[in-house]
Amino acid sequence: MRDDSTVTLREHWLLDPSITFLNHGSFGATPRAVLEKQSEYRARLEAEPVRFLVRELEPLLDAARRDVAAFIRAEPEDVVFVPNATAGVNAILRSLDLDEHDELLVTNQEYNACRNTLDYVAQLAGAKVVAVEIPFPIASPDVVVDRVLAAVTERTRVLLIDHVVSQTAIINPVERLVQEMSARGIDTLVDGAHAPGMFPLDVTAIGAAYYTGNLHKWVCAPKGAAFLHVRRNRRFGVRPIAISHGANSMRSDRPRLWLEFDWTGTFDPAAWLAAADAIRFVPTLVPGGWPEVMRRNHELALRGRDLVAGALGIDAPAPGNMIGSMASLPLPDAPPGTPGGDNDPLHNMLFDRHQIEVPVMPWPHPPKRLIRLSAQLYNREDEYAELGRVLRSIL
């Protein structure tokens, strides 16, 4: 049944009304009101670039940083902006002093870009990457904990782990893993690309040495807005990807982390500044604020998953407590020779013939593949029912 309230909510986004958009998880979608704030910052920048970037930017960044830090329950001094979570992962991994005696722990479900970074820094240092096989379908968070801990050795230097896995959409038990790693003297880098805005996030309670997350996805900030949190006792060794003026700054009025990350060269800071506006705007869309946004999206993701799974005649592949605002389902194997990713004929058919935007991903390797559903305030239950009917007619 069509929910008229979601029709009104969809009007806050610029999304093409002819497309059933079930892929908020890939790049997010920014509401009109937040885009207008971004445009205001850009207009101020272009009206007098020197005044804005030299005289006004620092206090504006600090104010936005305070709002982001409060949202993720962290201290502002430990938070910097980065363009995306992949940049945050790069900054940390390329700051580590590794050698050939080190092992870098990761799972087979790690996001490809970040796994590539891990492989790169390991190759430079002669370190070893140890990939832990996490099954999907999966029975419980205990499976992740048990398998990761079983792979730890005396040479393990760092664990890189997704908070929410991009491919399978499962929520990993990162707080438990961080505690277990810390007890063994091992640091954890959490790739929280999807976590902010999907569920309540308390970075301080998680306690990871390093945590990075996107704000352009579930917070609905403009593209290019993300954060990196560095635990206080690890800040001294962390450097940005681009070494710039902050590297030899003599200033003592700002944390070294800010001096190095806040300015790495001329850039447009409007997305970072507008992230705070997104944090304030999105919760005004429904009574109950952020808790209600998260509850609605979670329940819709589960309901949408059930509708599609029912149409395909399969069981849910993960318990509900491992799902946030996205859910993945296994599909029948792709035909031999099928190209992966966005070139999968099924993906193209869903879009070209049925105007449904939803990712079909080769995972864990061809011909195996998944379909991943996202749920945002502008989505409706009948959209998932229609996807299920279409898939049943095609597969």
pLDDT digits (tens, 9 = 90+) for 345-391: 999 999 999 999 999 999 998 899 999 999 999 999 999 999 999 99
Domain span holding position 375: 4-22+286-394
pTM: 0.96
Q: How many domains does the chain have?
A: 2
Looking at 216, 247, 281, the residue that finishes a domain is 281
The verdict on 217 and 232 lying in the same domain is yes
The verdict on 53 and 9 lying in the same domain is no
Cα–Cα nearest to 147, from 118, 111, 176, 115 = 176
Is residue 27 a part of any domain in this protein? no
* Average pLDDT, integer, range 23-50: 98
The verdict on 79 and 191 lying in the same domain is yes
- Cα separation of 341 and 20, whole Å? 19
- With 60 as the cut, is the pLDDT of residue 1 above it? no
The verdict on 329 and 273 lying in the same domain is no
Looking at 257, 281, 305, the residue that finishes a domain is 281
The verdict on 47 and 18 lying in the same domain is no
Q: What pLDDT shows up at residue 337?
A: 80
- With 50 as the cut, is the pLDDT of residue 2 above it? no
Is residue 29 a part of any domain in this protein? no
Name the residue with tokens 């599609």: 308
The verdict on 77 and 202 lying in the same domain is yes
